[in-house]
């Protein structure tokens, strides 16, 4: 597949890294020559320095015979014009654009992106993706990472293993015997910074980070087995009242089981805008690092604090201060992956990486076969791929034990006739089933081959 990626920032670079590793023909375009040089020096891609919306630049990038263009520059308008030029001048079939402006994302203007207007096939909104990720984290506060799969029937949980975990030093094979009715599978273990897919004989040790897929109804029991308690979420303090904080507050307001929310925002104009948009939420204008303001927000009685300002270091420090003042749960947003190792020493419970959520969203629309969603694990170390099984897929009609799955790949769950089934050797995969597969990064191409059907892509 020939792909042009416009924008060589964090998101563009990660997408290029994924696609180049799978031997696609990738060209990166950016008006910053240094970013283009970084991409061409570290990845197997071609690079063009110039403005992505210029027709001559796209022509140099190979738009005449490109299969797809991904517009992920920092400018919404450049991304939109790039897709228009790619469509009108070069007839590129598939066009994906990252848009941040909330007005562009309003549902009442969705006709704007029709082919006879502004032809964009897929619009990705980082702020909305991050807000959804924040809500997922709040739904499972005992987990450091979480994502929903199989039409909401299954949940991927990232669980840190402590010394008091009841199942440490127990082979995974024995967990199946001990909890035979539990629909949960350990898909990945990160130990001393290294992620791997465990075998049935592997054990879980204190200090490990485990990725577990479980049926939604078994989530509380799964967390309990791994030594975590799922508390009730009734009071939340959000630090940052911008697009992300506002979207989370709105979603919490709309819940039937009422959650009391307080929003702290330093910029007065942004705070006023948030206050006008929210009905029951209290909005306080001030610095989220100010201990007196946090106390005014009743932080010591809050069940969780969510730090989602546009500054990573502010988020980290605000989360630390909130914990120091008695808040039991802290989640913070961080764009910089080098800050992630500080989360443990700083006692921050979970984090949201906007780059990873946006990359996951874009990958969902790139993967071959009937792929429904893709979730990127860690620093692009692995992926969870959810896909519908088609008649011509190589896995269709086979039992799990007969599938020649490569090392580093595990099936996490199967949705059959609206019911989630735990993977077992005698489980047959049929047309129409939805499967969730955990794959290490170097095995993603092989998983795609198992799901792929040549006529189904475009």
pLDDT confidence of 187, banded at 50, 70, 90? very high
Record: fold of 2-124: Rossmann fold (3.40.50)
Q: Is 55 helix (H, G, I), strand (E, B) or coil?
A: helix
pLDDT confidence of residue 131 = 85
pLDDT confidence of 115, banded at 50, 70, 90? confident
Residue 394 tokens read as 């190589």
Residue 354 tokens read as 């906007």
Q: For residues 378 and 258, what is the distance between their CA atoms, to the nearest angstrom? A: 32
For residue range 16-37, list pLDDT tens digits in order: 887 887 778 999 999 999 999 9
Q: How far is CA 371 from CA 66, 94, 100, 367, in A?
A: 21, 16, 25, 6
Average pLDDT over residues 141-166: 88
Which CATH number is 357-456's, of 3.40.630.10, 3.40.50.300, 3.30.70.1450, 3.20.20.60? 3.30.70.1450
pLDDT confidence of residue 254 = 84
Is residue 7 left, alpha or beta, with left meaning phi > 0 and alpha meaning psi from -120 to 50?
left
Q: Is 91 helix (H, G, I), strand (E, B) or coil?
A: coil
Element (H, E) at 412: strand 409-416
For residue range 212-232, list pLDDT tens digits in order: 999 999 998 999 999 887 767
Domain ranges of the chain: 2-124, 130-225, 235-346, 357-456
Q: For residues 306 and 330, what is the distance between their CA atoms, to the nearest angstrom? A: 6
Q: Note the CATH number of domain 235-346.
A: 3.40.50.720
For residue range 329-362, list pLDDT tens digits in order: 899 999 887 888 888 889 888 888 887 788 777 8
Pairing of strands 260-265, 46-49: unpaired
Q: Which is it for the CA torsion 195, 200, 206, 211, positive or negative?
A: positive
C-alpha radius of gyration, the chain, whole number: 23
- β-partners of residue 122 are 96
Q: For residues 68 and 75, what is the distance between their CA atoms, to the nearest angstrom? A: 19
Give every CB contact of residue 124 below 8 A, 6+ residues apart in sequence.
72, 96, 97, 98, 99, 358, 361, 362
Q: What CATH homologous superfamily does 130-225 map to?
A: Regulator of K+ conductance, C-terminal domain (3.30.70.1450)
pLDDT confidence of residue 441 = 87
pLDDT confidence of residue 370 = 67
* DSSP state for residue 271 in the 8-state scheme: H
pLDDT confidence of residue 449 = 80
User: Do the first three CATH levels of 2-124 and 357-456 match, i.e. the same topology?
Assistant: no
Judge whether 115 and 87 are in contact, CB under 8 Å.
Answer: yes
**Residue with more model confidence, 103 or 39:** 39
For residue range 375-407, list pLDDT tens digits in order: 888 777 898 988 888 887 888 889 999 988 888
Q: Is 429 helix (H, G, I), strand (E, B) or coil?
A: strand
pLDDT confidence of 366, banded at 50, 70, 90? confident
Angle at 341 between CA 210 and CA 262, to 5 degrees: 85
């Amino acid at each position: 597949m020939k792909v042009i990626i416009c924008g060589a920032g964090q998101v563009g670079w990660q997408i290029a890294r994924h696609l180049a590793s799978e031997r696609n023909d990738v060209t990166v375009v950016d008006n910053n020559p240094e970013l283009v040089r970084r991409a061409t020096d570290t990845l197997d891609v071609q690079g063009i320095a110039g403005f992505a919306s210029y027709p001559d630049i796209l022509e140099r990038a190979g738009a005449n015979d490109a299969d797809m263009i991904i517009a992920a520059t920092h400018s919404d308008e450049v991304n939109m014009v790039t897709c228009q030029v790619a469509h009108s001048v070069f007839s590129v079939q598939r066009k994906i654009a990252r848009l941040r402006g909330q007005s562009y994302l309003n549902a009442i203007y969705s006709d704007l992106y029709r082919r006879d207007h502004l032809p964009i096939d897929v619009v990705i909104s980082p702020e909305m993706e991050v807000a959804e990720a924040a809500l997922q984290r709040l739904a499972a506060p005992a987990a450091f990472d979480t994502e929903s799969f199989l039409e909401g029937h299954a949940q991927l949980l990232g669980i840190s293993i402590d010394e008091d975990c009841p199942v440490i030093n127990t082979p995974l094979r024995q967990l199946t015997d001990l909890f035979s009715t539990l629909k949960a599978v350990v898909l990945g273990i990160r130990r001393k910074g290294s992620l791997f897919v465990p075998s049935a004989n592997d054990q879980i040790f204190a200090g490990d980070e485990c990725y577990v897929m479980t049926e939604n109804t078994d989530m509380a029991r799964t967390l309990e087995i791994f030594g975590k308690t799922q508390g009730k979420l009734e009071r939340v303090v959000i630090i940052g009242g911008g697009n992300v904080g506002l979207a989370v507050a709105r979603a919490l307001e709309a819940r039937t089981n009422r959650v009391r929310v307080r929003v702290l925002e330093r910029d007065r104009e942004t705070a006023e805008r948030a206050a006008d948009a929210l009905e029951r939420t209290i909005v306080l204008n001030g610095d989220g690092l100010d201990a007196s303001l946090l106390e005014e927000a009743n932080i010591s009685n809050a069940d969780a604090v969510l730090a989602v300002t546009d500054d990573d270091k502010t988020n980290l420090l605000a989360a630390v201060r909130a914990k120091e003042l008695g808040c039991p749960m802290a989640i913070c947003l961080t764009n910089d992956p080098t800050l992630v190792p500080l989360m443990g020493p700083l006692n921050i419970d979970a984090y949201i990486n906007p780059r990873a959520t946006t990359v996951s969203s874009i990958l969902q629309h790139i993967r071959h076969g009937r792929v429904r969603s893709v979730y990127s694990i860690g620093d692009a170390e692995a992926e969870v791929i959810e896909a519908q099984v088609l008649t011509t897929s190589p896995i269709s009609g086979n039992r799990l034990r007969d599938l020649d799955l490569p090392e580093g790949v595990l099936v996490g769950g199967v949705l059959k006739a609206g019911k989630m089934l735990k993977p077992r050797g005698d489980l047959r995969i049929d047309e129409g089933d939805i499967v969730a597969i955990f794959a290490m990064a170097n095995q993603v191409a092989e998983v795609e081959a198992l799901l792929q059907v040549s006529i189904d892509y475009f």
